[in-house]
Amino acid sequence: MIDKKIKKSNERCALQEILSIIGGKWSMSIIYALFPGTRRFSELERLIPNINTRMLVKELKNMEANGIVSRKVFATVPPTVEYTLTTKGEKLEPIINELHKWGLEYVN
């Protein structure tokens, strides 16, 4: 009984940990924009309406730190920066798609 309660409690903490990774205002939109494949910073900026440069930089930095995206810099002038989902990030695809379907059915 106590074990079960601790397990339950850990499960909810896991959910909060997950939300801290993908629950930011823009994270899911960025992940969604990366599903088709690698994108340049400028492409992401164009693809995600209403996000500003500072926010996009900040979210991508968080996502990189959380192992959701990988970042590659090319020594061009000006430098080209590309972002790709890691395996951890890719595994979110079916879940975010399901969430999206839920939204289409139930939100408005």
Residues that bind a copy of itself in the complex, under the rule CB under 8 A: 8-9, 11-19, 21, 23, 25-26, 28-29, 32-33, 47-49, 67, 88, 91-92, 94-96, 98-100, 102-108
Question: Which of 94, 87, 96 has the alpha carbon at shortest distance from 29?
Answer: 96
Which residues are 70's β-sheet partners? 84
CB of 75 to a copy of itself, least distance (A): 31
Nearer to a copy of itself, 82 or 90 (CB): 90
Cβ at position 73, least distance to a copy of itself in Å = 25
- Beta-strand ranges (E) seen in the chain are 39-40, 69-74, 80-85
CB atoms under 10 Å from CB of 94, counted, come to 9
Query: By C-beta, is 10 or 73 nearer to a copy of itself?
Result: 10
User: Least distance (Å) from a copy of itself to the CB of residue 74?
Assistant: 26
- C-alpha to C-alpha distances, 18 to 10, 48, 61, 85, nearest whole angstrom: 12, 22, 17, 16
Cα angle for residues 104, 94, 11 (degrees, 5° grid): 100
Q: Minimum distance between the CB of residue 34 and a copy of itself, rounded to whole angstroms?
A: 12
Nearer to a copy of itself, 47 or 81 (CB): 47
